[in-house]
Amino acid sequence: MRPAVFLDRDDTINVNAGLPDAAWRGTPGDLLDAAHTHLIDGAEDAIRRLRDAGYAIVIITNQGGVARGHGSVADIDAVNDRLRDLLPDDPLADHREPAPIAPSLIDACYACPFHPAGTNARFADEHAWRKPNPGMVAAALAELSLDANRSWMVGDKQRDLDAAIGAGIAPERALQVGPNADLPDLAAAVDLILTPPPMPRVLAASRVVLHADLATNPRPLADERVRETVLASARAIAERTGVELLDASATDTALTATLAASRVAAMGFAAELRRATNAWHLGRHKRTLWLDRSAD
């Protein structure tokens, strides 16, 4: 299944807020005039980068201006077709044979002409496709066999993000752009989408063993208090030094510690543990606990 980037249309791909009065047949809002369809600077390059990375490009747009009597479904299609013209799949290709729809970077367009406050009775409804409802995104995922787990949404309104999240796209993959958002525009959102996640830092596990001095006591760690003090000291030194102690265990004659650290760091840990517990054991039992060269 292919991942997709779902894109809001007006003020995400094409200019809307800055259009002249001539662009509107009623109050400014949904763009229903193909003659005033202009890409936002950087949008074509951003979308081309997404396609090159293997993403399907799906436009998801509310167009309630149709319900309000400012245009028709044919006007929605005309603007979408103009966007396809402005976003050719291969800008250098010589398409000598006419085609109903020229090859475009856009894989599909989904539009909702409904609005609950509409004056056109046919479209005066709070439809399941109208964002923030997830209907359009859910339909595209199913009809185009897209992978929601690897897909993204980019839009300039919270309702764009809510629609995608409601259809199963992870909230962290729903990005808002615009002057009041963290990301200024589509190009910045694409930079984020295409930035590889940081690789986890993996350290090989290192094991060290401290061998007890058996000259004066053949089983020094058989003493429960000695054993618990040594293990507690190992945990405390690991916490203090920032070394991850994966495991620590003791027999009657040795301590074994496994750490997520380099060999050098593990040997340093062992040296400090030997020093600290030797000092404690010498003060309590008048003899050292470990051999002088007891770490391996």
**Residue in 180, 272, 194 with CA at minimum distance from that of residue 234:** 272
Q: Please report, as a single letter, which amino acid is at residue 25.
A: R
- Percentage of the residues of the chain whose pLDDT score is greater than 90: 77
Which of 193, 226, 250 is the last residue before a domain boundary?
A: 193
Residues 22 and 164 in one domain: yes
Please report, for residues 191, 212, 221, 226, 282, the alpha-carbon distance to residue 254 in angstroms, rounded to integers and kept in the order given: 54, 6, 7, 12, 17
Task: Decide if 113 contacts 63 (C-beta within 8 A).
Answer: yes
Report the C-alpha gap between 80 and 144 in whole angstroms. 18
Per-residue pLDDT for 57 more than 80?
yes
Name, in order, each residue with C-beta under 8 angstroms of 198's C-beta and a sequence gap of 6 or more.
Answer: none
Q: Do 88 and 186 belong together in one domain?
A: yes
Residues 103 and 249 in one domain: no
- Specify the DSSP class assigned to residue 97: S
| Average pLDDT of span 133-156 | 97
Q: Are 284 and 229 in contact (CB under 8 A)?
A: no
Mean pLDDT (the chain) is 91
Asked whether residue 152 falls in the same domain as residue 90, the answer is yes
Q: Which residues are catalytic?
A: 8, 10
Report strand pairing: 254-260 vs 244-250.
Answer: antiparallel
Q: Does 142 lie in the same domain as 24?
A: yes
The pair of structure tokens assigned to 235 is: 């945990």
Q: How far apart are CA 95 and CA 202, in angstroms?
A: 51
Whether 29 has a pLDDT exceeding 90, the answer reads: no
Band the pLDDT of 98: cuts 50, 70, 90: very low
- Tens digits of per-residue pLDDT, 194-236? 998 887 766 689 999 999 998 878 899 999 999 999 999 999 9
What letter would DSSP give residue 41?
A: T
**Over residues 14-36, mean pLDDT:** 89
Alpha carbon distance 154, 261 (integer Å):
41
Whether 200 is in a domain gets the answer no
In a domain, 198, yes or no: no
Digit-coded pLDDT (tens) for 242-296: 899 999 999 999 999 999 988 999 999 999 999 999 999 999 989 989 987 655 6
119-145 mean pLDDT: 95
Residues 57, 50: contact at Cβ < 8 Å?
yes
User: Domain range for residue 87?
Assistant: 4-193
Tally of structural domains, the chain: 2
pLDDT at position 202:
64
81 in the same domain as 161: yes
State the pLDDT at residue 103: 84
